Structure 1
Amino acid sequence: MSEPIRDWPELRAFALSLDLPKVEDAVSWGNPNLKAHGKLWCWWSPYIDAAIFKGSAEERDMLMAAAPETFVIHDHYVNTGLILVAGGKIERDWAEARLRRTWRALAPKKWLASHDATSR
């Protein structure tokens, strides 16, 4: 089993290693992040030691109930669908699946269809 991702530099390097097109470094609200297709894709919370991934409140709540030491929350994110994963607890397989799924969800449908057709 590989070591979990511990911090933003590791998460950033891991996400970029997936070599997905249309991913770029960005800064939002003074904090570094990665955007996919011009939209926030993943970043590190400035409030607690945790990575932030897009998801839904229902999924976040289920994950938090199943593994509260891994999936955490901060008051700032309670009313969002964002999923926070504690630094040092981010499983690489989980992160890869989440990042790939979110990357596809953020892609414009027409662009994605063209990309899929040329990537086979």
Structure 2
Amino acid sequence: MTFDDVRKFALLWPEVEDCTSYGTPALKVRKKLLARLKEDGDSLVMPGVPQDERAMLVESAPKIFYFTDHYRDYPMALIRLSKAKRAIVEPLLRRHWRTLASKAAVKEYDSK
């Protein structure tokens, strides 16, 4: 996968905007970060992943999921897009989108 792949499916969800964050391509929902491309050009910085879940993801798929000391105390995971499949990334991202989008947008999406 690439960030362009992520962008294509995420922009289909209501209220998702294509923008930048820290000088890298990013996706936001109502001005809040949904995900961004890390400076390495391959890793997706994804907020909204509780630390216990992140630990389980890293343990079960360390080639895909990881974190750095910088993110250790935050509910964030890093995903190596070059190693990931859409079937893994999309559900995690959609779950986070649901926490950021308005109730009306989620209801609209669910009614399709």
Q: TM-score, normalised by structure 2?
A: 0.81
Match of 1:105 among 92, 99, 104: 99
5+ unaligned residues in a row in structure 2: which ranges?
A: none
- Paired position in structure 2 for 1:64: 58
26, 29, 54: which one pairs with 1:33?
26
1:43 aligns with 2:33: no
Tell me what 1:74 maps to: 68
- Once residues 40 and 72 of structure 2 are traced to their aligned partners in structure 1, the CA distance between those partners, rounded to angstroms, is 13
Larger radius of gyration: 1
Are the aligned partners of 1:41 and 1:103 in contact in 2 as well (CA < 8 Å)?
yes
Task: Tell me which residue corresponds to 1:13.
Answer: 8
- Whether the aligned pair in 2 keeps the contact of 1:64 and 1:72 (CA below 8 Å) is yes
1:53 maps onto 2:46 in alignment: yes
Aligned to 1:23: 16
> Does the aligned pair in 2 maintain the 1:48–1:74 contact within 8 Å?
no
Letter in 1 for 2:70: H
The 1:47/1:80 distance shift into structure 2, 3 A limit, reads farther
Q: Percent identity?
A: 35
TM-score (norm 1): 0.77
Contact 2:42–2:82, Cα closer than 8 Å, also in 1:
no
Q: 1:108 Cα shift?
A: 3.0
Deviation at 1:106, TM superposition (A): 0.9
Give, in whole Å, the separation in 1 of the partners of 2:36 and 2:55. 20
Asked if structure 2 preserves the Cα contact closer than 8 Å seen for 1:71 and 1:86, the reply is yes
Q: Over residues 7-66 of structure 1, what are the superposed CA-to-partner deviations in whole Å (9 max), with x where a residue is unaligned?
A: 3233223422xx111111122222220012321101111257311222111111111111
**Root mean square deviation of aligned Cα:** 2.3
